[in-house]
Every structure is written in C-alpha cells, then in structure tokens.
C-alpha cells in the first residue's frame, strides 16, 4: 500500500491519468506503473549526473539509472558531445558505418570469449537472436532457462517453471501458445541436481542453456561458482552451447563483464554466446550478441540463421555506446565505482541493523540488491519469501525523502560514477530515518 501524499503529487497524478487514456496502463513498460508498490508513477522531466527531476520539479537521487545503462550518470559531457556530433551527421542510414565497426571492436577487446559481434536494438532482440543462433548452430530445438531469470519478452522465453523436476513450462503471458514453449525447459536457479538430471534425460536434444550470471530480475541473486562450473561441464559433454545473458551485468559489474569474474574462479571458463545491452548503448536503444567466429558465421549473410534490423548499428546509438565504453575503460574507473557501491550497501545494512530490521545486501561493481530478510536468497522461491510489504513501505519512505530505488522488489539497483559522497550519505541518512520506529 502506498504511503505517498496525493496532494503533493498532483502533476504526476494528472499525467498518469492522461497517459492511461492513450497508453495501456499509462506506461510503455509494465514495472513503471508502480503496481508492485502502489501509488502514482513519477513522470520524469529531466536528469543530470546522479539526479532526476519529476514533472513537479522534485529532485531524486537516482539508483535506477535507466535500469543500468547510465553507468557514468546522466548527461556525461564526453557522451553528450559524441551524441550531438553524431546526430548532426545523420540519425539513420540503413547502411554500414565505421562507428559500428569501432563499437564491435571495443566490445571484443574487453570480452575474450567473443570474436565477432552483431549489433541490434534491444536486449529482447539480442536474447531472441542468440537462441536462434544456438539452435541453428547445434541443429537442436530444446533450450534451458532458469526460474527468475529474464531474457526479454520473446515468446519462447515467457515461461514459468513446471510442477515437476525438469518439466516443460507453461506460458506466463497470454498470446503465447503452448506449442511455442514446448521446447523450453525451466529449472531452478542454483540447483545442480536439476541441471544434471535435465542433461541426463534430454542432453542430446538441448541446444543451449541460458542464464543471467547475476540475476537482476529477481533483485540481485548470484549464480554460484559450482553451479556455473557444472553447467559448463555438461554443455561441453553433451554438445550444447552455454549462453551468458549479460544485458544487465555486461560492463556493469566489471570491465570484462560478469564472465570475467567467473573466469577468475573457474580456470579457462568462457561462455559460448554472450548477450549484451544497457551499458554498451549508454542509454540509447542498442544491444548485441557475440560468440566465437565459428558460431557467429552461422548468421546471414554467411550462414543459414537469419537475423536483421533496420536500426541495428544506429549511428547515434553507436556514438553514445562507444563514448561510454571509452570512459569506463579508463584506469581506476571500476575500483572507484565498486567502492561507492560497497559503501552504499554497507551504510544501508548498518542503518537496518541499528533499527533491528532484517536486511540482506549484496553488490558487484556498480550493481546492488537488498532484501528484507535475514539472508541473501539463492533462487526465486527464496526471493518470494522475503518481506515484500516491508519493501513497498520502504520504497515509498525513501521516495518521499528524495531517493529513487526501483519500484519493485524484483529489480536490482545501480550506482553511477556521478554519485557523490554526499549522495551516498544522504541516502543512508534517509534509510536510517525510514527504518526508525514510527
């Protein structure tokens, strides 16, 4: 239930009422509607650095960061300059540009598992294309995903777990026929026994296993090292491809992305296909998928797997992404970003502990998550078992104090290079006040 004061939110409420007349639910992406937490969505008028201002002029410290892309903060001078210059030269050509090549080279330079990359316009498009590529490369139909991992809204991926071990899922969206998801196998995250059983019974039919290495769509849940290691072994044994969905974690948790963290713990580790989005576009609609040359050459125009897009490699989006990647590759960037994020989560945890509130936090690079519970969840059912009503109250208490966290328990948070010491301190002070007994 919302704790907001409607009288202080009239402009946002008016815009929301108006929006619902012309846009389903009043929003163009469901979580923005605040239905998970209650209350009225804030209509953002502008953003700069670590802040956003809504339609009423209220300023918020922004920990959404456009759901991850704004790793430098809003309106970074180098990025803004690159975008303005690119826009002056032309919005879209429908023909190749040099900047597409430069961005592809920059991604490949930092991610050793990738030899070639294809640029697209959204994470959903990249995830869908990666699965088609895996199926085409292996000649198999079945795919494995894990409950709580989100890979975009392509039909074959909108599936929830079945009732038994390694059972086929059922659509979680109307408009998705059962026939479309009959080859999608949904397993429990971090459950080694289930993935072993799935490969034992159906391994020769599995084209790929797709995973969020740090699941940012059930807040912040890490895939354990033994879990990832076992999937890699099983994919190698049965000839399936291992797909890392790094739309959220790519260039956000480390310069080499999440796969670089697992490579430190698992000697020789590499995924077969990687999916990227968010940070590589710097806030513009841009995503990518990449793999070794042998797999990528299955794509048209070289191979039989078709994929295309009118706005793929858009010149303004690639300018934004390339400028962002060049900034975050500077020495010391990730050390400073991780330090800020760690100080934030330590401060939040300390405020909760002082108030006697069960609270668990985790972070990596510039990505973090927190739960109202005594320990960090390891899978989706454990996320559901945390205290959602308490989260909803906390969300509104923080929003009223000028701190904008994601309006849903199931979403990770993001720190940017633009967040200052004062921003972190103000956030922790707001949390201390929110945690205090009424």
What per-residue confidence (pLDDT) applies to 59? 98
Written out in words, the top-level CATH class of the domain with range 6-75+331-435 is: alpha beta
Give the residue extent of every domain in the chain. Answer: 6-75+331-435, 77-328
Q: Could you give the CA distance from residue 116 to residue 298 in angstroms, rounded to a whole number?
A: 11
State the alpha helices, DSSP H only, in 152-216: 192-202
Written out in words, the top-level CATH class of the domain with range 77-328 is: alpha beta
Q: How far apart are the first and last CA of the chain?
A: 16
What per-residue confidence (pLDDT) applies to 199? 98
What per-residue confidence (pLDDT) applies to 27? 93
**334 — phi, psi (to 5°)?**
-70, -30
Query: Consecutive 10-residue runs of the chain (438 residues): their mean pLDDT?
Result: 54 94 93 91 97 97 97 98 98 96 98 98 97 98 94 82 36 76 92 97 97 95 98 98 98 98 97 98 98 98 96 97 98 98 98 97 98 96 94 97 95 97 98 91
Provide the CB-side half-sphere exposure for 52 (13 A, CA): 17
What per-residue confidence (pLDDT) applies to 158? 78
What per-residue confidence (pLDDT) applies to 164? 30
Helix or strand (DSSP H, E) at 104? helix 98-110
The pTM for the full model equals 0.94
What per-residue confidence (pLDDT) applies to 9? 67
Task: Tell me the catalytic residues.
Answer: 150, 245, 278
What per-residue confidence (pLDDT) applies to 171? 54
CA distances 138 to 96, 133, 135, 270, Å, are 29, 9, 5, 18
What per-residue confidence (pLDDT) applies to 175? 81
What per-residue confidence (pLDDT) applies to 167? 34
Q: Could you give the CA distance from residue 136 to residue 414 in angstroms, rounded to a whole number?
A: 35
DSSP 284-348: BS-EEEEE-HHHHTTBTTTSSB----TTTT-HHHHHHHHHHHHHHTSTTHHHHHHHHHHHHHHHH
Tokens representing 380? 């989706």
Strands 214-215 and 221-222: antiparallel
What per-residue confidence (pLDDT) applies to 1? 37
């Amino acid at each position: 239930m919302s704790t907001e004061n409607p009288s202080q939110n009239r402009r946002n409420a008016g815009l929301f009422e108006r929006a619902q007349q012309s846009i389903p639910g009043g929003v163009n992406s469901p979580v923005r509607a605040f239905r998970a937490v209650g209350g009225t969505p804030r209509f953002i008028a502008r953003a700069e650095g670590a802040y956003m201002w809504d339609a009423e002029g209220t300023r918020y410290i922004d920990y959404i960061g456009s759901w991850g892309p704004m790793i430098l903060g809003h309106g970074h001078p180098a990025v803004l300059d690159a975008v303005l210059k690119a826009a002056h030269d032309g919005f879209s050509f429908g023909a190749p540009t040099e900047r597409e090549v430069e961005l592809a080279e920059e991604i490949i330079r930092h991610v050793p598992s990738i030899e070639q990359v294809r640029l697209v316009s959204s994470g959903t498009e990249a995830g869908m294309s990666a699965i088609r590529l895996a199926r085409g490369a292996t000649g198999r139909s079945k795919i494995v995903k894990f409950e709580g991992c989100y890979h975009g809204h392509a039909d074959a991926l909108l599936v929830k777990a079945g009732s038994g071990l390694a059972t086929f899922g059922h659509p979680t969206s109307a408009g998705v026929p059962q026939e479309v998801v009959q080859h999608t196998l949904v397993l429990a995250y971090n459950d080694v026994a289930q993935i072993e059983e799935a490969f034992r019974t159906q391994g020769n039919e599995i084209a790929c296993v797709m995973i969020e290495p740090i699941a940012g769509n059930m807040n912040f849940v890490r895939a354990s090292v033994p879990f990832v290691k076992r999937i890699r072994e099983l994919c190698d044994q049965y000839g399936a491809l291992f797909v890392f969905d790094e739309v959220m974690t790519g260039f956000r948790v480390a310069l080499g992305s999440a796969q670089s963290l697992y490579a430190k713990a698992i000697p020789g580790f590499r995924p077969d296909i990687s999916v990227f989005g968010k940070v590589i576009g710097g806030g513009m609609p841009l995503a990518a998928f990449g793999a070794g040359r042998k797999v990528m050459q299955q794509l048209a125009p070289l191979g039989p797997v078709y994929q295309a897009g009118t706005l793929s490699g858009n010149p303004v989006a690639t300018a934004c992404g390339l400028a962002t990647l060049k900034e975050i590759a500077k020495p010391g960037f990730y050390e400073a970003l991780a330090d800020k994020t760690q100080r934030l989560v330590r401060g939040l945890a300390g405020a909760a502990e002082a108030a006697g509130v069960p609270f668990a936090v985790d972070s990596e690079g510039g990505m973090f998550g927190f739960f109202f519970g005594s320990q960090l969840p390891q899978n989706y059912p454990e996320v559901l078992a945390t205290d959602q009503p308490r989260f909803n109250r906390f969300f509104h208490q923080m929003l009223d104090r000028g701190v904008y966290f994601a309006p849903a328990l199931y979403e990770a948070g993001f720190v940017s290079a633009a967040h200052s010491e004062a921003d972190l301190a103000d956030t922790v002070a707001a949390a201390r006040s929110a945690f205090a007994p009424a």
